[in-house]
Amino acid sequence: MAIVLGPNRYGKAEVRLVRVTRITATEHELCDLNVSVSLSGDLADTHLRGDNAHVIPTDTMRSVVYAFAQDEPLPAIEAFGLRLARHFVDAYDPIDTARVRVLEYPWIRIPGARGPHPHAWTRAAGSRYAGVLHGPAGTEVCSGLADVSVLKSTGSEFHGFLTDRYTTLAPTRDRVLATSVYACWRHRRDEDGASIDWDASFDGTRDTLLRTFAETHSLSLQQTLYAMGEAVLTEREGLVEVRLELPNRHHVPVDPSPFGGHNAGEVYQVTDRPYGLIEGTVLRDDAAPALADLPWR
């Protein structure tokens, strides 16, 4: 029996940086990123013999991220991830594949007496995501959003499900539907990426996802998931696949009858765990398969 080295990669995870663009002495722009880089290639010797001649220190990877963050202005995170991935493959002969993941945390300006403050912010909810894979098979980019909380106070049902002696859940024709949206969408392959307006694509896709959640009369969170993905692909020709994770943030009506009360669907107990987790992929039936190890969220 032979023992061999299988697939492997290494990198620098969660490089945190904030880029302040100083337009004037008092008017600034803010970009808050979390960047992870993972590399693979001709790296067997470091595993098998401890020979590090082909190893780029992860400290160097971190330095590259910081160096490239000096771009002014910093590009959309998809473009930033593409530049990093191409650099690591082009600059280091032993490396043939780079995976880059970028999270952008949103900040909004604090209102001031004369409008939005020029250099003071408050952290907004959720985050924007980009994943890039660049290697021998080509280049692929996915975008996404993470931890965007949404809630509908009506327009959601859940009934007709399978029951057995372990079932305690009562069917309902009206319930609160709440979730935190985690979504990734894969772009059509474009080796250059220059033809894509990344910001407009992200804004439009996010708006479609949230609008569809709001407007779909839900018979299950699974149905809502599919409707969200279908709407995105219908409206945006440049996308080929949407992956969604929707944890069900349960809102359970409180029973005030033991202390003489009545709840007309107005008071709920919110539970954070355990929770239902609904996951699914919606894709075009003629879409090329995703490249291996595409860095989804």
Of 136, 157, 186, which closes a domain?
A: 136
Evaluate whether residue 1 is within a structural domain.
no
Model pTM? 0.92
CATH number reported for the structural domain that contains residue 84 in this entry: 3.10.270.10
Domain span at residue 36 reads 9-136
The answer to whether residues 91 and 176 belong to one domain is no
Cβ neighbors of 39 (< 8 A, separation 6 or more) are 9, 10, 11, 56, 61, 88, 92, 95, 97, 98, 99
Evaluate whether residue 129 is within a structural domain.
yes
Provide the pLDDT for residue 192. Answer: 64
Catalogue the active-site residues: 12, 58, 250
149-196 pLDDT, tens per residue? 999 999 999 999 999 999 999 999 999 999 999 999 999 987 567 789
Q: Is the peptide bond before 7 cis (omega within 30 degrees of 0)?
A: no
Of 96, 120, 136, which closes a domain?
A: 136
Report the number of distinct structural domains present in the chain: 2
- Whose structure tokens read 């692909």? 233
First to last CA, the chain: 37
Rounded Cα–Cα distance for residues 265 and 174 (Å)? 9
Rounded Cα–Cα distance for residues 246 and 261 (Å)? 33
Amino acid at 209: L
The answer to whether residues 164 and 284 belong to one domain is yes
Evaluate whether residue 245 is within a structural domain.
yes
Provide the pLDDT for residue 39. Answer: 98
- Whose structure tokens read 């993470």? 146
DSSP character for 172?
B
234-291 pLDDT, tens per residue? 999 999 999 999 999 999 989 888 888 888 888 889 998 999 999 999 999 998 888 8
Provide the pLDDT for residue 54. Answer: 98
Q: Are 199 and 76 in contact (CB under 8 A)?
A: yes
